[in-house]
Structure 1
Amino acid sequence: MRNVRYPVSDAGGYHPLVETEGLVVDWLLTQPAKCYYSAVQIAVAIRRSYTSVGTVLRTWRALGMMREFNVGREIFVQLDPMLR
């Protein structure tokens, strides 16, 4: 485990991800910049609530957050196994 910070916007903002597994770090760094923010949102939500990626996505959909849900669903298959 290691502490890392990812860029989450073109403006250069950062969001801390604490105790993130190296595989997640490595995978996120290979993604296009537009994927960073949603990937970080998913990871942070999971870390804070100790829940699954699927639960986060279902919650977003139920709350009407379709942009987040659609982008999150695209990375779900790759991100989920790394966070287990």
Structure 2
Amino acid sequence: WVEILGETGTIRLAGDTLACFGEHPATQVYDLPACYRDSYSATIEHFIAGLETGAPFETAPQDNLETLRLVEDCYRLSGFEGEARG
């Protein structure tokens, strides 16, 4: 799990549950497969709309390349060695 400690409260994400502790405590449980599916669908829709209308994408290609570099660095630093897919 991940926990963020603040001066007036704490947020904890454990699996599918986000809990806030402090002045306004709350808990939210997420349907992670549905969230992933919805996010994937929205990304594809946004991409297609950009191609059709010429509207700018939410993130620039350079931002996406930087994100990919950071993810690959995390895998490399963790020692993870996955199988090559072909």
Greater relative CO (CA pairs within 8 A, separation 6+) = 1
Return the structure number with greater helix share: 1
TM-score, L = length of structure 2: 0.23
Rg larger in structure: 2
TM-score, L = length of structure 1: 0.23
